[in-house]
């Protein structure tokens, strides 16, 4: 038995998002904008009548999940496998700081290297972790139900690719999720399919960030 729909929801804005600082596993809370984003999105997601809310255990995701759980009358289940990609020695730095401190590894990352060094979690490991966590969330409920999974930009993208069975090298072609926006996966007989990507309220959106400026590390 498993969910018929998975809604993969990225957390709201943080001060480090605003500063374009690499978060990774750093435990950064939502800022006032992020709290407003979560409060704006929560009624839209509650209207889907989710049967469960599963969240990364990092504060920015958990605070986002709490906004929905309170609205939907649900408890939040946490799963550390839903944490963001670990960005090793890049965590806490802006991209200019990363380029200055680690130019060779940054060049490898820009070129699409799945394991660029600096103690960054390899991309195939992130894909497998996200896929496993999403599948486990789906298995929490009965057929026909909706599960909302609250996670982070990189984990959302790679976990979705993993659940869809995409090869690792294809996943980076997906764009990043904006803060407090979501992706919808629907289960069919043949497996999961992508039904919607990067949808949600357009108000209170963070400014657009060019993909080459920083990783999906928040």
Question: Which of 84, 105, 121, 206 is an active site residue?
Answer: 84
Catalytic, 206? Answer no
| 3-class state of residue 125 by DSSP | helix
Cα(146)–Cα(153) distance, rounded to whole angstroms? 21
Q: Which of 35, 40, 14 is nearest to 202 (CA)?
A: 40
- Taking a C-beta distance cutoff of 8 angstroms, is the pair 218, 25 a contact? no
92 phi-psi bin (left φ>0, alpha ψ -120 to 50, beta other) = left
Cα(208)–Cα(59) distance, rounded to whole angstroms? 23
Token digits for 93?
């730095």
Question: Which of 11, 86, 106, 158 is an active site residue?
Answer: 11
DSSP classification of residue 92: T
Catalytic, 84? Answer yes
As beta bridge partners, residue 146 has 5
Give the residue numbers marked as catalytic: 11, 84
């Amino acid at each position: 038995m498993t969910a018929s729909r998975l809604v993969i929801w990225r957390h709201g804005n943080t001060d480090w998002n605003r500063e374009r600082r690499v978060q990774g596993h750093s435990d950064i809370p939502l800022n006032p904008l992020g709290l407003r984003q979560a409060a704006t999105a929560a009624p839209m997601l509650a209207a889907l009548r989710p049967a469960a809310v599963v969240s990364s255990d990092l504060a920015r995701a958990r605070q986002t999940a709490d906004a929905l759980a309170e609205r939907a009358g649900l408890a939040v289940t946490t799963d550390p496998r839903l944490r963001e990609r670990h960005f090793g020695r890049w965590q806490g730095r802006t991209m200019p700081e990363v380029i200055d401190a680690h130019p060779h590894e940054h060049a490898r990352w820009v070129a699409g290297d799945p394991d660029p060094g600096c103690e960054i979690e390899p991309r195939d490991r992130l894909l497998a972790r996200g896929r496993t966590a999403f599948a486990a969330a789906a298995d929490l409920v009965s057929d026909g139900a909706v599960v909302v999974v609250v996670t982070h930009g990189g984990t959302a993208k790679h976990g979705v690719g993993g659940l869809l069975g995409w090869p690792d090298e294809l996943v980076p072609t997906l764009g990043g999720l904006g803060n407090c926006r979501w992706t919808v996966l629907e289960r069919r007989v043949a497996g999961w399919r992508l039904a919607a990507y990067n949808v949600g309220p357009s108000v209170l959106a963070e400014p657009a960030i060019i993909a080459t400026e920083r990783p999906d590390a928040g």
